[in-house]
Amino acid sequence: MLTSGSATERITEYTRDGLVFDVLDQGPLDGPIVLLLHGFPERASSWSAVMAVLNEHGFRTVAPDQRGYSPRARPKRRRDYRIGALVGDVAALIEVIGQPVHLVGHDWGANIAWVTAGRHPRLVASLTAFSVPHPGSFMTAMLTSKQILHSWYFAFFQLPLLPEKWMMRPGARAEKWYEQSGMTEDDLERTKTEIVDYGALPFAVTWYRGLPFSNPGIGRLRITVPTSMVWSDGDTFIGRSAVDNAQRYVDAAYTLTVLPDVSHWIPTQASDAAAAAVLRSIALSGT
């Protein structure tokens, strides 16, 4: 049973099923807690600028390096990266925190945040999803729009070894792909340092390889906590049609914010707007 304010010391790591996850924890220890989940191919540091703004507003921010990204949490099997396992990691961290959190996710982190809110609503006070909509909305868009063209790499990443070799080669086409998505030189350098050089890339790609082992029922999950969806019109990975239907899955207060002239990489490239969206979502919850 969760008890308010039980995590009175900094959380620098936590353990689940023998895996050890690294955590960034900053801001006032007695502040309401915002839990931020990074996407691919990024780590908790992608939230640094957003965390700083939230801390200034009195919120404590907790951001883990998720499964495959933390060096001591890198199982090798594809099935170990199914969505249920990734959601279980988040739920375990919230249990360590000891109180419901304002849950925030970007990209893959948004997908995990949606499922966590659907499966464990008692752990979530509000939900803010950046870029990636509810799984049901995304799946529908894959069948009824051009979303499948945006998501071609889902199939490519199922191949063994080739995707990570393609992405790690200096001057590779992957860099061009990232640049076309809006990544800056600083973003590319951070990806090289924090993902490739850190040894996380093969495991990060395995998040996609775990999809065939995931429960398709996640597409039917109902969300019962106040929810904000944030999408940017410069996103080359997620089309607008995937976003517009997300509200159908939410049985609570809901807002959609569209950021103009912003790429997919919202937390690093539009951090003030991202923080403002999180604050609006928290306001919806009345906590």
- Residue 241: CATH number of its domain: 3.40.50.1820
* Residue 205, in any domain of the structure: yes
- Of 17, 21, 11, residue with least CA distance to 71: 21
Q: How many residues does the chain have?
A: 287
> Which is more confidently placed, 138 or 6?
138
> Rounded distance, CA 231 to CA 93, Å?
26
> Per the structure, how many domains does the chain have?
1
* Residue 1, in any domain of the structure: no
**Residue 1: pLDDT above 50?**
no
> Which is more confidently placed, 128 or 7?
128
pLDDT tens digits along 93-114: 999 999 999 999 999 999 999 9
**Residue 9: pLDDT above 80?**
yes
For 20, the domain range is 13-285
Amino acid at 1: M
* Residue 4, in any domain of the structure: no
* Residue 2, in any domain of the structure: no
* Residue 132, in any domain of the structure: yes
For 120, phi and psi rounded to 5 degrees?
A: -130, 60
pTM for the whole structure: 0.96
* Residue 38, in any domain of the structure: yes
Burial class (CB in 10 A: 0-12, 13-18, 19+), 272: exposed
